[in-house]
Structure 1
């Protein structure tokens, strides 16, 4: 076995949301031993390493990789919601993001993917920024059929949040020149679409703060929400489609048209002054009493990743599946499945392939 990389032990422990004391207890060693493993003062013996690898669900080779996993700084990512998130949960989600960087780098060595095409709209208020981006991307004022595929066509890499971090709504970050968005695919399709638009707002309006790791506050999150509402539901079209009465019956028809939640649609009409405050409050009460804040009525079909499905299909045609990808990256298949959960079809091929894809010409993928 090669020399142990201490930072890989720390990464794997954080990924599984374990404290040093918890890991020590599971391994039957002292907390000081874990501290020494992670600082490099000492290394686990072969038996302890094997037990650690099994417990943390990482291949033993992962702990011997010379190049450490990338680290996403605490303020380098913009989270959809921080109120219900513990530090352990946030760090778990960030470590999932680092694995996604690793997977994306592996894919980009083999495929030509769309490059980032994101303008800097930080000098514009949310409503104007959303309208400007729609004009720049030639979207007009029509509903957006698929947010995930739109983001991917503009060079944004979209992954699912790992199941362990399902309490996290969504977050976005940059890896070099590549923007990433992580969506909680345990949520309804409508809410995931809104989260995708929210994170897009951060990527085009909060460029400086994200690049320089500045702390983001509640106001920035509110503005990202405002951007998302305006981007998914352009003001002129929403006003033109004003219902004869603000009832759940009429709003249900419009929510299918825009692909948003009932609550988001009601809020948008209120933000544009199309319904009185009294009428909006009553509508919110009606939505809550019907249970539609937690269980979306008449849910839409979930959006999937066109890019990841095309990549996996191309690899499968060469008898290369998730097991081969995981083996090449020294991670478990579970990590790939978690990061593509509900974004792709499950692809399984024989695990005995030894095809050398690195030496092949990189095919280009076109998103339509």
Structure 2
């Protein structure tokens, strides 16, 4: 049969197994032969390939898929302390989510992406692009981005919240069928989720629709996304006056209005030249002293994303699919469907 060898690598990596570990668990399979097969240098018998994919608990029809959904700008906290195994599982899980979005699109019409991105290479700055984004979303100059998820989804960006490793923040990419997607860790504070959503929105508008020259490496792209998020959430012309002469007692009120963290407000004040580096250091020392670096004492409002949930509800309630039937229709294991679409309060982990 004409199987796509890359799908074996995909399933193995998602299950968190090395080539050696998988070879030990499937009779007749050796690590050298598996390595050559995954690289496309040699073939394995159809029977052996089927036994491999069945051990990985993926349906045989999975082997006929072609999935890319490569995201180059995943956002992690303390990336260096995240194990390669955990990072790989997160990345392949995100690719599966992009694939599910595309599978849903056969029955559901996602809102059209009508936001025309502006190209930095043509002289637009992240600040220009953020200002334009606020206009596209019909936000007033001095208006906080209240319903951030609803606004972005209204412009055709599918937003998905998942229970994920504490060091994963979010990622954005364009699916194989052309739908822009933002995936966020739902376990964080609302201000952090809002910040991550704005950061990933910046990636979509600045980095997903244009060829990126080599001099704009990952560090440069992250800086551009941060600059976009700052202007998008806290427009310079509207916030600058309130940051001059900033006091500790001002932070709660500013956080409540702009729906951003105190830490980001302090950093914005420094970046806009409203406070000195010494004053910036003082604020951070005071936040640390009061334990507010980890917990600022109260959370801000954020709405919930709905498009992905609604697509699942349509398939379940209107089209009458069970999770097992969705798995068969999408060529995915039922446990993957349940993990991402119908998560249980308790995580059941199968050892592979």
Give the TM-score, by structure 1 length: 0.77
SS in 1 for 2:238: helix
Structure 2 contact 20–31 (Cα < 8 Å) conserved: yes
Partner in structure 1 of residue 277 of structure 2:
277
Shift of 1:170: 1.8
Give the TM-score, by structure 2 length: 0.80
**Count of matched residue pairs:** 334
Partner in structure 2 of residue 174 of structure 1:
174
Shift of 1:155: 1.0
Alpha-carbon distance in structure 2 between the residues aligned to 1:166 and 1:42: 39
Partner in structure 2 of residue 101 of structure 1:
98
Partner in structure 2 of residue 289 of structure 1:
289
Shift of 1:154: 1.0
Output one character per residue of 1:232-255: Cα deviation in whole Å (capped at 9) or x when no partner. 1112332354487521x4312321
Shift of 1:90: 4.7
CA 1:124–1:161 in structure 2 vs 1: closer, same or farther (change >3 Å)?
Answer: farther
Shift of 1:51: 7.4
Equivalent in 107, 110, 120 of residue 110 of structure 1:
107
CA 1:5–1:201 in structure 2 vs 1: closer, same or farther (change >3 Å)?
Answer: closer
Q: How does 1:82-161 map to 2 (within 5 A)?
A: 83-84=79-80, 88-121=85-118, 122=120, 123-141=123-141, 142-160=143-161
Shift of 1:36: 5.7
Shift of 1:285: 1.4
RMSD between superposed Cα atoms in Å = 3.3
Output one character per residue of 1:143-169: Cα deviation in whole Å (capped at 9) or x when no partner. 111222222111112224563x55332
Shift of 1:194: 0.8
Stretch moving more, 135-144 or 167-176: 167-176
Shift of 1:183: 1.6
Shift of 1:330: 2.2
Partner in structure 2 of residue 11 of structure 1:
10
Output one character per residue of 1:67-122: Cα deviation in whole Å (capped at 9) or x when no partner. 3241244xx52222484356555543332233223211221111221011222222
Shift of 1:212: 8.2
Q: How does 1:61-80 map to 2 (within 5 A)?
A: 61=59, 63-65=60-62, 67-73=64-70, 77-80=72-75
